[in-house]
Amino acid sequence: MIANDFVYCKPGNRREAVKAYRALSKEDKKVFYYNGGSEIITMARAGSNAPDAVIDLKGIKECNKLELEEDYLVIGGAVSLNTIEESGLFPLLGTTGSRIADHTNQCRITLGGNISGTIIYKETVLPLLLTDAKIILYGPRGFRRLQFKNAFDQRIKLRDGEFIYQVKIKKEMLSLPFTHVKKTAIEKIDYPLVTVCSISYGNYLRFAFSGLCSFPFRSVEIEKILNDSQLSAEERLEKTHGLLPEPPVTDYQGTGEYRLFVFDNIIKAILERRNNEVL
């Protein structure tokens, strides 16, 4: 049971959503945009972050879009992870989403919710960072169309009243060879110790990581080192450690040292496989 009361509204289009946000957020009310709801309900039940109002975005047609257009795949913010996976349109994102929570929850968790939630892992961000995705945000000042990498720095940079409307990925990026590895401490379904996504783009490996630090990231500097064939795998890994954006996370699932050990093993396996393919 959720102890506190809140207002629930479900607008039928984007303008109604913003109008509702403006009206409901007066008097310092805490208003959350709502997609699948799993994180908001969990936090509200625990009393840790209860809203005064929620605005359900699932009624906005464009936020439910999952469609190949001329040059892009368009994914609405309210599309569920399960829908993305079953569509088979973006295998890396489908695979990544299919390892977030469990299958039943994947039928509810949405792309927009995963990107903008407060849980630190946000693994759906990784494929978007790797494939030069674009993001379309909508808010009181209308649309903002941004490169995903510019909109996401440790967390999604939303302005007051903005929500994730759609994400667009170039068609040519959808079917690149990829690797997705998620390592958990014990259970298969759990938060990651480390998740690594990698794609091969023009014979160059791109990498993005979750779980290692307190936010998901892609690092061009790390990619340069990991693609440097003049260095041994061990040398690359050692140099990589110094380029992490912050020290690895230590928590109940694993120490930072252990996370780094897991990270090294995943990367080694990816590099070895690549070497074998090249040879």
Partner 1 sequence: MKYYEGDCVIELDVNNEIRKATVRPSDVLLDVLREQFGLTGAKPGCKNGDCGTCTILMDGLPAKACLVLAVEAVGHKILTVEGLGGHTPIQEAFVQYNAFQCGYCTSGFLMVCHALAERKPNADEYEMEKWLQSNICRCTSYQEIREAVKSVLKHI
Rounded Cα–Cα distance for residues 192 and 244 (Å): 17
Residue of the chain from 92, 96, 98, 151 that contacts partner 1 (CB under 8 A): 98
Q: Is 59 in the site for partner 1 (CB under 8 A)?
A: yes
Fill in the per-residue mask, 168 to 197: x = in contact with partner 1 (CB under 8 A), - = not in contact: --------------------xx--------
Cα 231 to Cα 50, 83, 118, 211, 228: the distances in Å are 51, 41, 38, 26, 6
Binding of partner 1 by 204 (CB under 8 A):
no
The owner of tokens 């209860």 is 50
Per CB under 8 A, which region of 54-62, 89-97, 204-212, 269-277 contacts partner 1? 54-62
Residue 82 is a binding residue for partner 1 (CB under 8 A): yes
- Interface segment toward partner 1; rule CB under 8 A; list 9-17, 113-121, 130-138, 256-264: 9-17
State which of residues 22, 103, 145, 241 lies at the interface with partner 1 (CB under 8 A).
Answer: 103
Name the nearest CA neighbour of 30 among 57, 8, 56, 49.
Answer: 49
Q: Is 247 in the site for partner 1 (CB under 8 A)?
A: no
Between CA 100 and CA 235 the distance in angstroms is 32
CB 192 within 8 A of CB 211: yes
Residues 271 and 196 sit within 8 Å (Cβ to Cβ): no
Per CB under 8 A, the list member of 22, 67, 71, 107 interacting with partner 1 is 107
Nearer to partner 1, 80 or 240 (CB): 80
Q: How many residues bind partner 1 (CB under 8 A)?
A: 34
Closest separation in Å from C-beta 36 to partner 1: 8
Q: Least Å distance between CB 214 and partner 1? A: 22
Plot region of 24 (φ>0 → left; ψ -120 to 50 → alpha; else → beta): alpha
Instruction: Give the whole-angstrom CA distance, residue 71 versus residue 66.
Output: 14
Is residue 140 involved in binding partner 1 (CB under 8 A)?
A: no
Say how far apart CA 193 and CA 251 lie, in whole Å.
10
**How far is residue 247's CA from residue 256's CA, in Å, rounded to a whole number?**
7
**Interface ranges with partner 1 (CB under 8 A):** 1-2, 4-12, 16, 20, 37-38, 41-42, 44-45, 54, 56, 58-59, 82, 98, 101-105, 107-108, 188-189
